[in-house]
Amino acid sequence: INMGTRFMATAESPIHQKVKEQIVENDERATDLIFRTLRNTARVARNEVSQEVVAIERKGNAKIEDIAHLVAGARGKVVYEEGDPNYGIWSAGMVQGLIHDVPTCGELISRIVTEAEAIIASRLGGMTGKASAQAAE
């Protein structure tokens, strides 16, 4: 499973709290696809910079030189370290729409395991013997 965005929004994640809060605030539509014209598509959180990159690419024939000043890693570093989510591009998936809190990693893993066990029991219970065990309780 891909869980990068989800683990960004955990207490232990070494990014600024404002970025974590932005992930919680965003919905699934708050992303942009950039670098499409370069055949190296990346999904990033929608912000002023990503929108500018998309606009440049939409004009056609965009080259990395046209957007390099916007997508430079130094700008993304400022986002993560100083907490200005509009300063540069930063990776985030559509899963933002399903993220509603900033738990610890331990809490998140516990939830994932609990949800997986419930799904296995309800959908595959006949194969695992869990359905009959739960019915007997």
pLDDT tens string 28-44: 999 999 999 999 999 99
Q: Tens digits of per-residue pLDDT, 65-98?
A: 999 999 999 999 999 999 999 999 999 999 999 9
- The percent of residues above 90 in pLDDT, for the chain, comes to 87
Confidence of residue 2 (pLDDT cuts 50, 70, 90): confident
**What's phi and psi for 46, nearest 5 deg?**
-75, 130
Average pLDDT value for residue range 40-67: 97
For tokens 């997508």, the residue is: 71
pTM of the model: 0.86
State yes or no: pLDDT of 137 exceeds 70: no
In whole angstroms, give the CA distance from residue 38 to residue 29: 23
Q: Is the pLDDT of residue 116 over 90?
A: yes
Question: What is the full DSSP assignment across 38-68?
Answer: GT--EEEE-SHHHHHHHHHHHTSS--HHHHH
Helix, strand, coil percentages in the chain from 3-state DSSP, rounded to 5: 60, 5, 35
Burial of 52 (0-12, 13-18, 19+ CB in 10 A): middle
DSSP secondary structure letter of residue 91:
B
